[in-house]
Structure 1
């Protein structure tokens, strides 16, 4: 199923419509939909598509040559020997045609031949620069793609005319996969899978979310059972350290000192690993939203950004011994016991996105001090907005609002507003209070304003 990506398709169409040489880099994590985007783009136009694999360079060149021969219906090309990528691109340029050339999983070419970026620099400068060819290089290993194509040190630096970093789908598009699900159910699914199209497609045919988890994640033969190993194996050299860090963060340790203490190692042993995980957008370092110099703040906390990895390191990796013995029932029981608490983190993130969309704010995020924390603080031009999110089975009552007001006193500002998010609604007392104070308190059930 192809969903959204309208912005990315417009970029590709704009590049394609140029009359001179264009060069686009597409990169992003595995399963995010890069190949599907390319397929959609090429669906109404001809193009040369080549998928690189980890094999001998001469075999790769031979396969690429045969694809080019098919495109131009040239049996002679199929029979002759082509000695280099430069020769093959020269052949294409001499055809003097408008051609889109896609090399998918380009990072594997770079692994096979470390000089491939320099080779493509030569191809761009000597052959393609004066052509009307549209070249697309696409890859999944983010660190390698950045180093080989985007970094200042890369021979290809300055040659691209556009680049697309493909991110997971936003929550607003998840209902395209599950049109009959309620918004509550969509949030639960999103908290497990995030916006990765391939993962979402796997859950489509399951009614009960725990049955879907058991069949598609906890089963030893399931597609997602060992997915993080495949996701991270090309990005990191020492999985033991990284997996241990992610497991500890998923278990609730967010301060670097506490992470180091749990792993019984000095703090300086983890700074490089944490930065690597941040660069890969697997974790994120947050500081209180009111910090004036976030880069130098010593209040940073680390959270797993990727929803599926957050779930996997909370409920799969720690229970591998049970799952390998086929004891899925025990793990499902553990998941059910803390599922609302797990989903609440994603609900807080969606609430922050909701507030950013509906209020005029300079910035918005979480806030904490040594003894207190507030789920959401939005900083406006002339007011602060304070929010609390409750993903629980009971209605939110007046006491929750009063506690939020009390905590907000820790941040001095003359004009304050409040917003409460609830999975299960609000007591009538709180609804009546909000109705009588429409400029002070806003109520949001799931992700919809309660209107008065």
Structure 2
């Protein structure tokens, strides 16, 4: 299935029209990078090579044989080629005879750099001297974010300055999540999303006809299913000390969201945690939060959360209970999920409520930034800032109607926020709707908004 990716496809199509195009696509595994590329090139003249961890000689041999198949040249397949320069000489000679734009894709580019530390320099020279002025579009794609950055994107990387566009592929937005399903309630959609997030591979791995809890039991808790060990395989190529990183992620998942509390639980000095935290942020696994009204550099109130819904779920409900799951005693872990599932989904509901404001046409002002607010005693789920406006929101994932008391409590909490003279608005999100009294109240107070998201 190819869902959304409209912006990314537009970028690739614009690049295709340029006389010189060098596009870098990167992002975490399972996000759909290869699917995006294959959708883009399906009606274009293109050569696609998927790199792996084989020796350099075997990679050159495979590249050569694929070129032979592509150009229907059996003779080249019988020749022994031992270096990239000779291989690209052949490739360039062949595309010179093609009278249309050609696309060269190297997927998992970082593996070529792993097997030969000089490969990015070799490719830079080949590009500058022989490919740059050809009627060709280059696409380099990679899943190891840190290596793609160091080999292609960073200022001191050999290929720096060559790219004309870069796409950091992110998970599918919830706005398009329903396109993976047919005839499903909004409630179930949010429950599914709270586990899979927007990663296409995870979404498609779930039985969409079954309940979220059924999928947890029969997919995630199944030792033979790839989802059971996914985070280990996802992270082991990016990081060296897997146990240290896992300990940090487990600590955050269990509620230790401040550096000081992580440090206290793991008995690691706060300064010793910083490089690990920074690496996890670089890999798009963690994100740093501060109250929306404060500067992101404020360290005193900073909290850390696991960005990816599936990784977050795994560190909450799989990693802590692996002793049970390894011997197929799933009853205890399943009970833990069942008894706390509504609370689990409610946190995702808050995230989605904030996200939904970005395409909500009923918001009476352009949103400049959006997030949460908290102090020692209070927390506000949603705070959106405009130039001269501020919006406060509360989210309720419950089976009860939301009434006036929830609004009044939100207004009380909002009094503690420094509004800097901004005009105040309030919004309430409810899974189950609102009381008639609150609905009537909102009709005569234009700064009160109700949302059944």
- For the superposition of Structure 1 and Structure 2, which TM-score range results when normalised by the shorter chain? over 0.9
- Unaligned 5+ segments in structure 1 are 448-452
Q: Is residue 331 from structure 1 mapped to residue 338 from structure 2 by the alignment?
A: no
Indicate if the aligned counterparts of 1:30 and 1:140 stay in contact, CA closer than 8 A: yes
Aligned residues: 443
Map 1:44-443 to 2 at 5 A. Answer: 44-95=43-94, 96=96, 97=98, 98-291=101-294, 293-358=295-360, 359=363, 360-413=366-419, 415-437=423-445, 439-443=446-450
Q: Which deviates further from its counterpart, 109-118 or 1-10? A: 1-10
- Measure the CA separation in 2 of the matches of 1:432 and 1:14: 50
Q: 4+ residue runs of structure 1 moved beyond 6 angstroms?
A: none
Cα RMSD after superposing both structures: 1.4
Q: Name the counterpart of 1:450.
A: none
Q: Deviation digits for residues 98-121 of structure 1, max 9, x if unmatched? A: 431111111111111111110101
How far did residue 382 of structure 1 move?
2.7
Indicate if the aligned counterparts of 2:394 and 2:428 stay in contact, CA closer than 8 A: yes
Q: Which deviates further from its counterpart, 215-224 or 81-90? A: 81-90
Which secondary structure does the structure 1 equivalent of 2:163 belong to?
coil
- Measure the CA separation in 2 of the matches of 1:75 and 1:301: 60
Q: Structure 1 length as normaliser, TM-score? A: 0.95
Q: Is residue 27 from structure 1 mapped to residue 18 from structure 2 by the alignment?
A: no
Q: Name the counterpart of 1:12.
A: 12
How far did residue 412 of structure 1 move?
4.2
Q: Which deviates further from its counterpart, 374-383 or 243-252? A: 374-383
- Unaligned 5+ segments in structure 2 are none
- Measure the CA separation in 1 of the matches of 2:212 and 2:299: 40
How far did residue 230 of structure 1 move?
0.9
Q: Structure 2 length as normaliser, TM-score? A: 0.95
Indicate if the aligned counterparts of 2:181 and 2:208 stay in contact, CA closer than 8 A: no
